[in-house]
Structure 1
Amino acid sequence: MIIAAVGDVHSPKFLPLFLKSLGEVPVNIDAFILLGDIVEKNNVEAFAPVYQAIRKRFENVPVIGVFGNEEYRGFEREYYAKYPEISWLNDELRVFGLNRFKTCIVGTRGALDKPTPWQASNIPGILEYYRDLPGKIAGLLRECRDSAAEITILASHYGISYSNLKGEKPSIYPYLASQRMSEVVKPELVDLVIHAHAHNAVVEYTVVNNVPIYNASLPGRGRILVIEVKPRRSILNWLAKPR
């Protein structure tokens, strides 16, 4: 199965780079995943040229979206209403038939080890939300496993580990990712994690708990990532069964 993944388009800021990169994505992908901060400062209208360009190139490919910090909390329904063709995942899961695989995708803004000063002052309960989210995501990943999905993907806007943040200032790591999220990333639950948000991180790919993690931030990568996903988790579970 082949997916395309990108975040941090910040339309219209990086829209020209996105459109250029889109032309380099093979047409045989099975899904296109948007990892948040697709617009700048909650400019709902600026999402349209991104989606329209995807749909023009990939007429029948499922488009899955998660929100970032630039798609402001409390405005989710505006995105649902204006872009209903997108499979939005807001701390939710959905099962898709992609290629020949039953695929479960868990989508979330993600958690941070520290709320930004603005978040702490303006979003009631954000500290508790970040504290509790890893447990909720773990539960969703278990639901994916119990659904007998052959492939499970975790799509988050924020990072889930500090291990691929090199290039960013270490002092801001807690505002870019949650180390506690890495604790729920286990090979028996998830096959792939993709995220964005870390614009300056130079590490594209890392492994956490034997699970591949990709940073698909557009300004960081300079392109849309195209990733071949294999059902590693199903194979590991099969090997672990008593014979």
Structure 2
Amino acid sequence: MVARVLATADIHSPKYFPRFRESIKDLGRFDAVFIAGDLMEEGRIEGLKILINELRRLSDTIIAVPGNEDYDEVMPRARELDIIKWLDDEVIKLTINDVTLRIIGSKGSLERPTTWQLRHIPHIADTYRRRVDWLKRTINSSRELTILLIHYAPTFKTLQGEDPRIWPSLGVRDLEGTIFGNNVIAIHGHAHNSVVRCVKSGKSYIINAAFTNIWKPIILEIGNDGLRSISIDCQEVKYERGSGPSILDFMR
């Protein structure tokens, strides 16, 4: 048995909602939909409402994490709209067609907080450090097949095409080794202009699901043994345990 899943991110409804609606009109139903943040444009709850009406056509199981434009102050209202199960540094288990998935959901972290964040969010660098630590511990706590649904990129390998000077403000590399060292399918967004959509090492994958890259969602088939198929190309990368820079390289 497999779970047929649609993955996407960065719809920024209502901004890109018409293109999203057009992209899914012939796709049929899915066992689940995973959205890696930025469902709304600048916290516009009305944009989320029209998006939800369309998501209902895709699946009864919608799981999302907040992105940087799903503003904290509107999230209580967003949660009241039902249909979407929001995960914000939380873990759930989901069984679909006898496929059991452990799902970790988080906004994620940046190696270098943005200028706006440094000015307006107290102790944001500490928050990002703690979140990376929590994500590492949580991923490492089980050898089960895990979906990491995360807004900010957990690697720089899926940021190619973006200006390298801003990569530290698009994601964090310190999660990469933990993902590749476990049985994880990581799905992120936020990188609108990347040209590398998917990298894999062994049975683990990191997928950039930003809708704004190819203007269509990604379709996955997942079994209990891992990812069976994916609708985009995926590059094999070499991973060596213990290699790679630390988040501290950019936060000192």
Shorter-chain-normalised TM-score: which range? 0.7 to 0.9
For 1:176, which of 153, 170, 178 is the aligned residue? 170
Matched, 1:160 2:154: yes
Q: Deviations over 1:190-233 (max 9, x none)?
A: 33010110000011111257521111101112101111223346
- Given that residues 8 and 197 in structure 1 are in contact (C-alpha distance below 8 angstroms), is that contact kept between their aligned partners in structure 2? yes
Gaps of 5+ in 2: 227-252
Length-normalised TM-score, structure 1: 0.86
2:13 aligns with 11
Q: d(CA) in 2 for partners of 1:72 and 1:17?
A: 23
Q: d(CA) in 1 for partners of 2:67 and 2:213?
A: 16
Gaps of 5+ in 1: 234-243
Q: Percent identity?
A: 29
Instruction: Give the structure with the higher percent helix.
Output: 1
Q: d(CA) in 2 for partners of 1:39 and 1:57?
A: 18
Q: d(CA) in 1 for partners of 2:221 and 2:187?
A: 12
Instruction: Map 1:84-95 to 2 at 5 A.
Output: 84-95=82-93
Q: CA deviation at 1:104?
A: 1.0
- Given that residues 99 and 223 in structure 2 are in contact (C-alpha distance below 8 angstroms), is that contact kept between their aligned partners in structure 1? no
- Given that residues 4 and 221 in structure 2 are in contact (C-alpha distance below 8 angstroms), is that contact kept between their aligned partners in structure 1? yes
Secondary structure in structure 2 of the residue aligned to 1:96? strand
For 1:114, which of 112, 115, 139 is the aligned residue? 112
Comparing 136-145 with 47-56, greater Cα deviation is found at: 136-145
Label 1:208 to 1:172 Cα distance change in 2 as closer, same or farther (>3 A): farther
For 2:138, which of 132, 137, 140 is the aligned residue? 140
- Given that residues 25 and 224 in structure 1 are in contact (C-alpha distance below 8 angstroms), is that contact kept between their aligned partners in structure 2? no
Q: CA deviation at 1:91?
A: 0.6
2:24 aligns with 22
RMSD between aligned residues: 1.9
Comparing 198-207 with 17-26, greater Cα deviation is found at: 17-26
Q: CA deviation at 1:71?
A: 0.8
Q: Deviations over 1:42-84 (max 9, x none)?
A: 11121011111110343xx310010000011343222112x22
Q: d(CA) in 1 for partners of 2:201 and 2:35?
A: 22
Instruction: Map 1:1-243 to 2 at 5 A.
Output: 1-27=3-29, 29-58=30-59, 61-81=60-80, 83-145=81-143, 149=144, 151-188=145-182, 190-207=183-200, 211-232=204-225
Q: d(CA) in 1 for partners of 2:165 and 2:73?
A: 29
Q: d(CA) in 2 for partners of 1:232 and 1:177?
A: 28
